[in-house]
Structure 1
Amino acid sequence: MLKFFSGLIVLVLLFSFVLVNDKERKKSKDLFNGKDFNGWIKYIGMPHKSLQLSLPKDSLGNYKEPIGSNDFLNIFSVVQEDGEPAIYVSGRVFGTISTDKEYGNYHISLQYKWGEKKYAPRLQLPRDAGLLYHAGDRPMQNRVWPLAQECQIQQDDCGDYWKIHTSMAQIPAQFKDSSWVYAPGSEYVWFGDHVNRPRCNKNPDNEKPQGEWNTVEVYTSGDSSVHVVNGKVVMHLKKLSLSENGIKKPMTKGRIALQSEGAELYYRRIVLEPIQQLPSSLRQLF
């Protein structure tokens, strides 16, 4: 009888474990369905004048207007890469795909891999893109990017912080070799237009070589966030804010956007998990 009850207890515990883990899995959401852009909104910016397109130009040869939501150039498309679905980004024109819903308090994870091609105006610059979070629903001031916080996806700079438009944040950082660098345990420093510090460099560098898949994660909780590259924390931020008529307002939610910024790349495995708070290992950073 004792063996029977012991076995029964083990079965109950195992069943409970399966139920809990199944519940956790159901909380996660694949933002990319592997087939199309359902749940995403495309926005394509102003083409560089070096591209030969049948669109209106001014007297200097510059295109007059952004392309907008009609992605007739297939800047973003769905392909098979390394045996599974991925979002292919040609990079020919700057643009974004943004979620059609806003999110706050979440953990987002994705993988990216660089292609080979680069385009003007970034032919001589590092391959560039970005994961934007807490983003607005439209580009600011006729530009291509919405108001947002950015986890940089740039070759050799993945995980950097970039403010976009009037966004701002506090980061523990030190000024080294003419740039600001993330330094846990240091004094928190404001970054944003109002202090003329738009960028903070990640630390450490944890990217993989050209052509390999990298995993980027962002955790957000309230007005705080953490950037993680290939399993290592490379940046944490607090007091995520925007400036509106000189007044700071907290940024705690928004759309998620992925950039096309002059370089060929692929995105895949884009998964969002709602969280109530940061994991304990990350809360210790603050």
Structure 2
Amino acid sequence: MTTNTPKPEVLHYTAFSSTPDGGNPAGVVLDATGLGDDEMLAIAAGLGYSESAFLTAPPEGLGGRAYGIRYFSPRAEVPFCGHATVATAVALAERTGPGELVFATRAGTVPVEVTEVDGALRATLTSVEPRVEEIAAADLTEALAALGWPPADLDPDFPPRIAFAGARHLVLAAATRARLADLAYDFARLEALMHRLDLTTVQLVWRESADVFHVRNPFPVGGVVEDPATGAAAAAFGAYARELGLVPADAVLTLYQGADLGRPGELTVTLRAGDPRVRVGGAGTRIG
């Protein structure tokens, strides 16, 4: 006798936008109990979003509204994904109400606060403890060659670094908005370098003002050319900017991402003096 295993319900949400046509879409499976790695990867690949999130049973001791969570790009599992975390938190809040949530990720424990303002839900995650490291000169040369960026196109006030706040990202700052807008890179070459350095995305930034930045995120290791809005990279960038003294220890930064892809999004990065962790927040809404 054969039995048919029910297919999991896959929800579609976008993060860092209050409208379905903005921000970064993610697949959300609120009950991934019984799904194997191959099945979760197949769902993520079928959706084609940069990442999808799958909720599992939490480890013991995390308390009330706690969940295990795993993230898959169309090609592989990733340790942490900010936009899929925001999307999942909004999906849960629609069903159980706003409040505090806790997600157990491969990168560590990530608290999320969901609030409702004027009928709209907004989720703010608190990253794991970040770190920032230098990049070898040869690796930087290779990254710029893969991007097609001459070294003179970098902003000298923003030294290249690798930053981590749940996942590793190479931070490179463009000297002009035009340089940021002109993104046409060697997919295979950048992917090979990112695998070697264990990078999730490359965080390309341009500073508009003291606390406003425009960002883009090539994501070839995930099987997509560019991520429309990247919460993990935003957290890593916040840690980077604080450590290098580019922003105050207490700061609220606004990151605009996705406009060059036709999916505008807005990420809020909050830094608090005395707390190494970085908070990243934004709106979220269901698609369709």
Q: TM-score w.r.t. structure 2 length?
A: 0.25
Q: Which has the higher contact order (CA 8 A, sep 6+)?
A: 1
Q: Which structure shows the bigger proportion of residues in helix conformation?
A: 2
Rg comparison, structure with higher value: 1
Q: Which structure shows the bigger proportion of residues in strand conformation?
A: 1
